[in-house]
Amino acid sequence: MAEPDHDGRRDMQEAVRRRAERRATWEKEGERPLWKNMSMIGALGWLIVMPTLLGVFAGRWLDGMLGTGVTFSGALTFVGAGLGFYLAWKRMNQE
């Protein structure tokens, strides 16, 4: 017979505890205002868009200087988008 998964049980208990805390906080503080939700969406959008655009412009500039086609444009666009999504993820987990 298989050994019971104690780590899984602890993970589940932790998830249930966090859910109960979030529920209690929501009941105490109420729903976040619409303007705050909209501003969070806007901030997250800019956190993703700006590094991506910086990657595009830097890549195009490097490609123009070095005559490499779209090599740097593609790579730096990807890096910028990855950085933007990472920053947005960190921002979402702050609040």
67 and 78 fall within a common domain:
yes
Q: Are residues 61 and 85 in the same domain?
A: yes
What would the mean pLDDT of 13-41 be, rounded to a whole number? Answer: 86
Q: For the chain, give the percent of residues with pLDDT over 90.
A: 58
Which residues form the domain of 22?
A: 1-30
User: 87 and 43 in contact (C-beta within 8 Å)?
Assistant: no
Residues 40 and 20 in one domain: no
Shared-domain flag, residues 25 and 69: no
56 contacts 76 by C-beta, under 8 angstroms: yes
pLDDT of residue 27: 84
DSSP for 22-48, please give it: HHHHHHHH-PPPHHHHHHHHHHHHHHH
Say whether pLDDT at 91 is over 50. Answer: yes
- In a shared domain, residues 20 and 49: no
- Look at 17 and 40; give whichever has higher pLDDT: 17
Tell me the C-alpha distance between 90 and 95, whole Å: 9
- Does residue 23 share a domain with residue 3? yes
pLDDT band of residue 30 (cuts 50, 70, 90) is confident
How far the first Cα of the chain sits from its last, in Å, is 44
Q: How far apart are CA 32 and CA 26, in angstroms?
A: 9
C-alpha to C-alpha distance for 57 and 79, rounded to whole angstroms: 12
Whether residues 52 and 25 fall in one domain: no
90 and 44 share one domain = yes
In this prediction, residue 35 carries a pLDDT of: 84
